[in-house]
Amino acid sequence: MELTTKQFVKDFKERYFNKYSNEYTTGTDEQLYYALGTLIRSYASKGWKNMRDNYIDNRRKQVYYFSIEFLPGKFLLKNAYNLGILETVKEGLKELDLDLDRIVEIEPEPAIGNGGLGRLASCYLDSGAALGLPVHGNGIRYKYGLFKQKFVDGHQVELPDNWLKDPYPWEIRNNVSAVTVRMGGNVWMREDGIGGLEPVYEDTLDILAVPYDNALIGYNEATTNNLRLWSAEVTPEDEGKLDKHSRLQIKEINENLYPDDTTYEGKRLRLKQEYFFVSAGVQSVIRQFKKYDLPRKQIPDKIAIQINDTHPALVIPELMRILLDEEKLSWERAWEITVNTVAYTNHTILSEAMETWEIGMFKELLPRMYQIIEEINRRHVQEQLPLYGRSLTYATQIIKDGQIHMAHLAIIGSHSTNGVASLHTEILKDDSLKQFYEMFPHRFNNKTNGITQRRFLHLCNPGLTELITKKIGNEWKTNPSELKIFKGQETNKQTLKELEKVKLANKKRLAKYVKEQQGLEINTDAIFDVMIKRLHAYKRQQLQLLHIIDRYLRIKVDGETDIQPRVFIFGAKAAPGYRFAKQVIKVINELANLINHDDEVNDKLQIVFIENYNVSKAEYIIPAAEISEQISLAGKEASGTGNMKMMLNGAITVGTMDGANVEIHDYVGEDNIYIFGMDREEVRDMNWSGGYNPREFYETNPRLQRAINALVDGTIPNVTHEGRDIYDAFLVHGDEYYCLKDFDSFVHVQEDVDKLYQNKTEWNRKSLLNIASAGPFSSDFAVARYATDIWNARPVHKAKKD
Ligand code: DL6
């Protein structure tokens, strides 16, 4: 949009005055942030309304991305940037003698997601809007986000994340679009008087779902979409009538992102959350469709619903419910519409992460949903049995063993099932979802994940953005495949020097942040070795721990002096009930405490565990990363996206052939990535042979043995049972993730990395090639592929060029 500095200054003063009846010079940072936020949002209002009208007037196909988690990160800079007014805002605030960085610091981050899955959803919404595609988000407005992580004596402590305690300038409560969601009670069918049946509900708990809408402004205002987050409230009819228990039942729905699902009540609450946002979302989608005034059979032509993993899989029976019970369609017609509207993305290989619900609980909470799922299952078996026989059909049943299998429902009730990296999709096809692939081969496809270059390069790394633009022009910003032109600079010494300078500046910025936040001074001449991701045994932070212990002992005990200095940077949260993950955090923190305070070691080795890792912290860390650790056991990580973000910022990957690392390897070339460890076939053979004996590796590799012993022999102070449990996981419980097997190749590859760092030109060259090869991982391409192959959706118009 067009905005002069003068106009912005005037608008800002007025906005502040009207809101607080005072001059902006009296404002606190919080007030300044709120005034600025609402002002920027108001600049987007016209575009947002126009697009809403445009979609309806032109009966555009709209895509709804249903996800139980989103991790949007902060909005202020992103929105100003996408509106094209960031520089004007900066200048205007300077004129007003205000500090934008301070204001940005105040903005709370909506941590309404956990990790990759939620962040992916937000990248896709950003790309959808940038491409001018009508792609909207649908989720839950959790009052408390993922916990705030604090370290107390090295232990993770979880504190509530009350991100909505102050008014949130980006959202609009939209009362007129509220809908009612029904749960519990009884449902029975009676004649509807026109030859069919209709359900009669008794004693249900009725919940008012109120949407909060957040504008998703596309880069260069290509379009503006909506992230709709639902909040649960008492219906006006029930106001004053409901008992305390029922009120509490409603209130708790959008209280916390993760109910404690180790209890029956916790599980039930999670199921309630799932149905709540699904039912509200589907009702609102159908309302939207009705504005088109088209026959219902055209629903799939005008609406696509993408379900982000199985948490929103109830979209299938809910859409069926509306079509059958409210729209009075026949089962066959309703089913055809549903399957052609819904598409499913699978994000995990881990069997324990595949969702199932116990029938008793499900039936009691969602009786009509259960009836419909039962019928879907019955018809599925009836159709497939003659074609595929008993065993295969049984394997694919939705209801069996007293459980409802949500992935089965998602595949049977949709027209597309995709994995999130090519290796992952292959594993789904020939292993975890094999029987479904046999039944519905045409439904399976791959959509490798992607990341938005706007948040994860343009905004968080302006130095690198400027350098690339200086060397290859502007085109790459809207067409990241143009980044490959940057390869032409690989032998340009000047460019390589400039690249090194940018990296150093980013390292210094991170070092300053670490000093301010955690009081630790880190060595910016050392390699910044980064491992940022959820803490999980399959991701193998414990392998990195062994590697660091090994380094420590080489310096401390063996007296090695010729060792490349490194700062090991971790960012990770452990699920509150995940004991092993919490123990790994404690041990890393105690090791950090030991090493960082030991002057014999700390010029060569330091550890920083960034407290409360989140999107905003990632934006500090990623531009400074030199090594990107992607060391999951091959075959376990569906894709990963941190690997793509760090590559784009010039980090060199140390990784296994897992998830999207495989594609990173293919694009960047084997000389510019450090691959180690077993590949997926080797892991599979090892699993099948059952012949893995971790002790053998422990006993025959003295370096490994010494590092493992350090977990229990007092080398690391203040670590008792935590070290013992990790030790036992390696040696007593069979080392499920083959850390001991992969250790040797891991540490050797790390030594190669050290050697490479001695040759800065060569290091910078590889770093540059990583940046230049990262274009294909832009979420703009991923979303474009979803739009063409799955959604059949077209952009409203093309984004303006820079
Ligand atoms: O697709 C986004 C993201 C992938 O990059 C990660 O590899 C994958 O672990 C994550 N999946 C989940 C779902 N549950 N589990 N486990 O978060 O999705």
Give Cα separations from 338 to 90, 335, 413 (angstroms).
Answer: 48, 5, 7
DSSP element (H, E) containing 358? strand 356-358
Ligand 1 lined by 420 (C-beta under 6 Å): yes
Q: Under DSSP, is residue 403 helix (H, G, I), strand (E, B) or coil?
A: strand
Which ligand 1 atom minimizes the distance to the CA of 641? 5
Q: Give the pLDDT of residue 591.
A: 98
Do residues 11 and 94 lie in contact, with contact meaning Cβ atoms separated by under 8 Å? no
Task: Categorize the per-residue pLDDT at 456 as very low, low, confident or very high, splitting at 50, 70 and 90.
Answer: very high
Task: Return the best residue to mutate from 270, 406, 420 for the ligand 1 pocket (most ligand atoms within 8 A of CB).
Answer: 420
| ipTM of model | 0.98
Nearest CA to ligand 1 atom 14: 348
Which ligand 1 atom minimizes the distance to the CA of 309? 13
Task: Categorize the per-residue pLDDT at 799 as very low, low, confident or very high, splitting at 50, 70 and 90.
Answer: low
Ligand 1 lined by 643 (C-beta under 6 Å): no
Give distance in angstroms: CA of 633 to centre of ligand 1.
14
Ligand 1 lined by 284 (C-beta under 6 Å): no
Mean pLDDT over 102-123 rounds to 96
Which tens digit of pLDDT belongs to each residue from 633-642? 999 999 999 9
Question: With 80 as the cut, is the pLDDT of residue 797 above it?
Answer: no
Task: Categorize the per-residue pLDDT at 108 as very low, low, confident or very high, splitting at 50, 70 and 90.
Answer: very high
Q: Give the pLDDT of residue 802.
A: 59
Cite the active site residues: 347, 533-534, 539, 641, 645
Give distance in angstroms: CA of 88 to centre of ligand 1.
38
Ligand 1 lined by 120 (C-beta under 6 Å): yes
Q: Give the pLDDT of residue 690.
A: 82
Do residues 134 and 52 lie in contact, with contact meaning Cβ atoms separated by under 8 Å? no
Instruction: Supply 415's token pair.
Output: 């027209």
Mean pLDDT over 215-234 rounds to 97
Q: Give the pLDDT of residue 517.
A: 94
Check residues 351 and 496 and name the one with the higher pLDDT. Answer: 496
Give the residue among 783, 750, 557 at the shortest CA–CA distance from 655: 750
Q: Give the pLDDT of residue 259.
A: 85
Give distance in angstroms: CA of 775 to centre of ligand 1.
21
Tokens 């990248």 appear where?
123
Q: Give the pLDDT of residue 352.
A: 79
Task: Return the best residue to mutate from 67, 347, 534 for the ligand 1 pocket (most ligand atoms within 8 A of CB).
Answer: 347
Nearest CA to ligand 1 atom 11: 347
Give the residue among 611, 489, 583 at the shortest CA–CA distance from 151: 611
Calculate the average pLDDT of the chain. Answer: 97
Task: Categorize the per-residue pLDDT at 801 as very low, low, confident or very high, splitting at 50, 70 and 90.
Answer: low
Instruction: Supply 578's token pair.
Output: 């995940």
Task: Return the best residue to mutate from 69, 71, 117 for the ligand 1 pocket (most ligand atoms within 8 A of CB).
Answer: 117
Ligand 1 lined by 659 (C-beta under 6 Å): yes
Which tens digit of pLDDT belongs to each residue from 164-177? 999 999 999 999 99
Which tens digit of pLDDT belongs to each residue from 550-591? 999 999 999 999 999 999 999 999 999 999 999 999 999 999
Question: With 90 as the cut, is the pLDDT of residue 689 above it?
Answer: no
Mean pLDDT over 137-150 rounds to 97
Ligand 1 lined by 449 (C-beta under 6 Å): yes
Q: Give the pLDDT of residue 798.
A: 59
Task: Categorize the per-residue pLDDT at 261 as very low, low, confident or very high, splitting at 50, 70 and 90.
Answer: confident
Read off the pTM. 0.97
Which tens digit of pLDDT belongs to each residue from 42-82? 999 999 999 999 999 999 999 999 999 999 999 999 999 99
Task: Categorize the per-residue pLDDT at 720 as very low, low, confident or very high, splitting at 50, 70 and 90.
Answer: confident
The string of DSSP letters for 635-700 reads TS-S--SHHHHHHHTTPEEEE-S-TTHHHHHHHH-GGGSEE-S--HHHHHHHHHHT---HHHHHHH
Give Cα separations from 527 to 420, 750, 763 (angstroms).
Answer: 31, 11, 11
Which ligand 1 atom minimizes the distance to the CA of 120? 2
Do residues 44 and 79 lie in contact, with contact meaning Cβ atoms separated by under 8 Å? yes
Mean pLDDT over 202-219 rounds to 97
Q: Give the pLDDT of residue 205.
A: 97
Mean pLDDT over 601-613 rounds to 98
**Rounded-to-integer distance, Cα 775 and Cα 706, Å:** 42
Determine what percent of the chain is predicted with pLDDT higher than 70: 99
Which ligand 1 atom minimizes the distance to the CA of 119? 2
Q: Give the pLDDT of residue 350.
A: 82
Give Cα separations from 498 to 466, 476, 505, 527 (angstroms).
Answer: 11, 19, 11, 17
Q: DSSP alpha helices (H): ranges in 176-314?
A: 244-251, 264-290, 299-302
Mean pLDDT over 2-15 rounds to 98
Q: Give the pLDDT of residue 800.
A: 58
